Amino acid sequence: MKQRMTQRPDLSKLSSDEKDALIMALLERVEELERRLGLNSSNSGKPPSSDGFKKPSRVTNQREKTGRKSGGQAGHEGTTLRQVPTPDKVVDHCPLVCTGCGGALSVEQTTGYQKRQVFDIVQPVVEVTEHRAHSCGCPACGTETHAAFPAEVTAATQYGATVEALVVYLQAWQLIPEDRLAELMTDVFSVDLATSTIAAMGQRKAQALTGLAAQIEQQVKDAAVKHLDETGYRVAGVLQWLHVASTGLLTCYRTSAKRGAMLAGVRGIIVHDFWRSYWTMLGVMHALCNAHHLRELKALMDIEKEPWAWAMHRFLRQACHAANLARAHQRSLSPRFLAWLSARYDRILAQGVAFHESQPPLGAGLPTRRGRIRRRTGHNLLLRLRDHKEATLRFLLDPTVPFTNNQAERDLRMMKVRQKISGGFRADTGAQTFVTLRTVLSTARKQGWNILATLTTPPAILTQNLRTA
């Protein structure tokens, strides 16, 4: 851990006031470091993987208890493996001898049977189709006419659309690295693929789906409510940023060199965390992710023990519950109830401001510095909740706005999994290919489409079937 003081001061040469100032600075530093040690995935934005073996107990989970037992609920249809009326293969098992007299028995003497079915996969077989373009001579004039090959048959030997779709599916959707994918294709299908061939298949498919990806991006921009988030990615050894804009039916990924490069042409409501670049977007309304607020409040409850944090934490959870009940009954919250919630929100903020105003200022006794006034973490959160009250409580006013930004975070999660499996990208081409494919495939999954079928369907048909609501 880096130390702020590169040289230890000579305490014997310090005056009493200078020693007091140094003690205050060191105490503030200790509080800051203790706070860092107290942060984990349950009370900050740190990922669960950073918790290590000191993972916090799940009894602190902030999800509301439903009172239902774990597992399938009563009335849930469920799924199970069931027998089929017409099996592909039947194997008869008959007793060889009679247990009474010892006589020989065969299937001809059967009086009934019980059946059990085994579902298995037959050994995959690659089917080779030879296309022959014939030349025919006309019996009338003697002219020789040559037949043309199908448009998709371009080489003397090549892999078909199903092989290409399967490779793209396994690499871009199941996140299998190229080397392991080549081994899988050899072991399972006896198809020897070079990693360069796998990369070329992905690039061709991404190029074919570029128009569909652009259409998805435009529909996300035009959606009434969309979720935005971003995460770091390394491309050619340089830190780049992977942005996501998504709805319940659409997902749009893109990369940029700058974290603050926001998506242009967006309208409607955007749900996001408090990253300042989102506030530079024009022509939109904002909704803040309250899951972030709950985690920050929990840190203030666990570490600083600030009393107003308990009240605000309880208020946000109760407000979320009220909004969920209203949506379940397809109705809006009454204006009177909304006014009461708003007044309660303001009272909690006033309680928090009074608490922080009663605290001694940070850096008391130290030489004054120019610039912004340094505030405690809880004080900064209070000012955010006060200045952006409408964005914080928009989920109460608009039933289409969720309480959290979990949609965007879920859409980013698998991209981080891919980063952990394979690392970054060697070139921008690979990153753009992956982003295009994931845009289409993530949207396909949300639309309820089969992924393999999506990769073999013409993009024009997919565009026609795209649903936005």
Sequence-separated (6 or more) residues with CB below 8 Å from residue 117: 83, 84, 87
Share the mean pLDDT of the chain: 88
47-56, 74-83, 242-251, 295-304: which range is least confident on average? Answer: 47-56
* Model confidence pLDDT, tens digit, residues 184-219: 999 999 999 999 999 999 999 999 999 999 999 999
User: What is the per-residue pLDDT across 114-157, written as a single tens digit (0 to 9) for each?
Assistant: 999 999 988 888 999 999 999 999 998 989 999 999 998 999 99
Q: How far apart are CA 314 and CA 333, in angstroms?
A: 19
pLDDT confidence bin for 442, thresholds 50/70/90: very high
Residue of 252 and 60 predicted with greater confidence:
252
Question: Is the Cβ–Cβ distance between 378 and 352 less than 8 Å?
Answer: yes
Please state, in angstroms and rounded to a whole number, the distance separating the CA atoms of residues 224 and 221. 8
**Residue 374 predicted with pLDDT over 90:** no
| pLDDT at residue 60 greater than cutoff 60 | no
99-113 confidence digits (pLDDT tens): 888 888 888 888 888
Average pLDDT, integer, range 418-447? 94
**Cβ burial, residue 144 (10 Å; 0-12/13-18/19+):** exposed
- Output the pLDDT for position 62: 59
Per-residue model confidence as pLDDT tens digits over 317-340 = 999 999 999 998 888 899 999 999
Look at residues 256, 383, 412, 394 and name the one whose alpha carbon lies nearest to residue 338: 394
Is residue 268 pLDDT above 70, yes or no?
A: yes
Region of poorest pLDDT, from 38-47, 53-62, 144-153, 212-221: 53-62
Tell me what pLDDT residue 228 has: 97
Phi, psi for residue 16 in degrees, rounded to 5: -60, -45
- CATH number given to 205-288+406-464: 3.30.420
- Does the structure show a pLDDT above 70 at 272? yes
Q: What is the pLDDT of residue 342?
A: 96
pLDDT tens by residue, 211-267? 999 999 999 999 999 999 999 989 988 999 999 999 999 999 999 999 989 999 999
**Three-class secondary structure assignment of the chain:** CCCCCCCCCCHHHCCHHHHHHHHHHHHHHHHHHHHHHHCCCCCCCCCHHHHHHHCCCHHHCCCCCCCCCCCCCCCCCCCCCCCCCCCCCCCCCCCCECCCCCCECCHHHCCCCCCCCCCCCCCCCCCCCCCCCCEEECCCCCCEEECCCCCCCCCCCCCCHHHHHHHHHHHHHCCCCHHHHHHHHHHHHCCCCCHHHHHHHHHHHHHHCHHHHHHHHHHHHHCCEEEEEEEEEEECCEEEEEEEEECCCCEEEEEECCCCCCCCCCCEEEEECCCHHHHHCCCEEEEECHHHHHHHHHHHHHHHCCHHHHHHHHHHHHHHHHHHHHHHCCCCCCHHHHHHHHHHHHHHHHHHHHHHHCCCCCCCCCCCCCCCCCCCHHHHHHHHHHHCHHHHCHHHHCCCCCCCCHHHHHHHHHHHHHHHHHCCECCHHHHHHHHHHHHHHHHHHHHCCCHHHHHHCCHHHHHHCCCCC
Give the HSE-up count for residue 222: Cα atoms under 13 Å, Cβ half-sphere: 9
Q: pLDDT higher for 122 or 362?
A: 122
Q: Work out the pLDDT band at 367, boundaries 50, 70, 90.
A: low
Task: Specify the range with the lowest mean pLDDT, choosing from 24-33, 125-134, 451-460.
Answer: 24-33
Query: How confident is the model over 302-330, as a mean pLDDT?
Result: 93
Q: Which amino acid is at 219?
A: Q
Q: What average pLDDT does the segment 65-88 reach? A: 80
**Is residue 369 very low, low, confident or very high in pLDDT (cuts 50, 70, 90)?**
low
pLDDT at residue 66, rounded to an integer:
65
Q: So what's the pLDDT on residue 20?
A: 74
Query: Is residue 433's pLDDT more than 50?
Result: yes
What's residue 3's pLDDT?
46
Domain ranges of the chain: 205-288+406-464, 290-360+374-397
Q: With bands split at pLDDT 50, 70 and 90, how would you rate the model's confidence at 364?
A: low
Percent of the chain with pLDDT over 70: 90
pTM of the model: 0.82
CB neighbour list of residue 106: distance below 8 Å, 6 or more residues apart: 94
Read off the pLDDT band of 54 (50, 70, 90).
Answer: low
Give me the percent of the chain exceeding a pLDDT of 90. Answer: 65
Lowest-pLDDT range of 54-68, 356-370, 424-438 = 54-68
For residue 408, what pLDDT band results from cuts at 50, 70 and 90?
very high
Which pLDDT value is given to residue 2?
44
**Which residues lie below 8 Å from residue 337, measured CB to CB, with a gap of 6+?**
322
